[in-house]
Amino acid sequence: MFEVLMSEQAFILSAALSHRLSGLKAKGCTVRVTHDYQSVAEKLLEIGKPYLTPTLSPEKNDFTFEGCFWVTISGSGKMLGAAGVKLERLGRERVSDYWKRIHQRQYPGANDVATIKEVSSLVDGRLSGDVVYFGDLFFSPELRKLNAVEDFGRAALYHAAITWRANQFYAFLKDRDLRRGFGFQLGLMSCIPRAQVWSAPVPETRGDHEACCYSSMDDVMNLAELDTGIA
C-alpha cells in the first residue's frame, strides 16, 4: 500500500511539474537542474548576484549529488534566476539548535557573542526531521516582468519533492521579499515571522530578522493536485 501511495504521489508531482514547465516554455523560458555548483555561482555573479551565502557556497562546502542541486531558469540564452536546494537530515536535532549552530560557524560573532540572538518558539513545532532548504534565491527583473517567478518557484518545489520525501520545505525571507509575495510564489504557504533574529552587527547579506516560509509534504501535494486539476 505504501509503495502504491508513493507512486501516486510521484505521478501527481510529475504532472504538476510538467504543467509549470509548460507555462514557462510558453513564456520563452527553460529550466535546468544542475549539480555544477561552481558554474552556477559564476553565472549568478555575471547577472548581478555578487555573493552566495555560506550554506550554498561551493567554496565552503563539499556537496554531493544526493544532497544538493540548483534549479536555474534562462531566457534568450541568458540566466534569469536560480534557487539553491539542499537536503538537511536533522534526525533528532532541533531545528532551532541546528540554525544556531550552523550560523555561528558561518558568521562567527565577536567576543563569543551568539550570532543568532533568538529563534521563534514556533520553529521546532513546525519543522523537524528531514527538511529541504531553499536559499540564495535570485529572480532578475526580466524574470519578474515575464510573470514567471511563480511557475519557476513551484517547478523547483515539485522537483525537490520528487527527489526527496522530506517532512517540510522552507526558506528564509526578508520583509521586502515577503511583501513581494515570494513565499507564495515558491509554494511555501505558511510563515513564521521573525523566525530567527540576528545579533548586531548583522551580517551584510542577512536581514536583522528573517521569516521562515515553509510547506509540509501534505501542503506540497495539495498544491500539486490543484495544479493538475485533481483537487
pLDDT digit string, tens, across residues 54-99: 999 999 998 999 999 999 999 999 999 999 999 999 999 999 999 9
Report the alpha-carbon distance of residue 178 to residue 196 in Å, rounded.
15
205, pLDDT greater than 90? no
Query: Which has more pLDDT, 156 or 112?
Result: 156
- CA-closest candidate to residue 158, choices 5, 6, 4, 20: 20
Helix axes 217-228, 2-26, angle to 10 degrees: 60
The C-alpha cell at 194 is 521573525
pLDDT tier for residue 109 given thresholds of 50, 70 and 90: confident
Question: Per-residue confidence at 1, pLDDT binned at 50, 70, 90?
Answer: very low
- Cβ atoms of residues 199 and 115 within 8 Å: yes
pLDDT score recorded for residue 231: 54
Q: What percent of the chain has pLDDT over 70?
A: 96
Q: Of 27-36, 50-59, 110-119, 135-144, which range is least confident?
A: 110-119
Domain span including residue 135: 2-228
Query: Residue 4 has what pLDDT?
Result: 47
Placement of cell 548586531 in the chain: 200
User: Which residues have a Cβ under 8 Å from the Cβ of 55 and sit 6 or more positions away?
Assistant: 61, 84, 86, 102, 106, 133, 135, 136
Q: Rounded to an integer, what distance in angstroms lies between the CA atom of residue 192 and that of residue 100?
A: 17
- Which helix (H) or strand (E) segment is 136 a member of? strand 130-139
pLDDT in tens, 171-182: 999 999 999 999
CATH number at 197 reads: 3.40.630.30
Q: Cell match 522537483: residue?
A: 159
Place of cell 555573479: 45
% of the chain at pLDDT higher than 90:
85
Q: How many domains does the chain have?
A: 1
Distance (Å, whole) CA 84 – CA 229: 28
Question: What pLDDT score does 7 carry?
Answer: 86
- Under the banding of pLDDT at 50, 70 and 90, the label for residue 2 is very low
CB 212 within 8 A of CB 191: yes
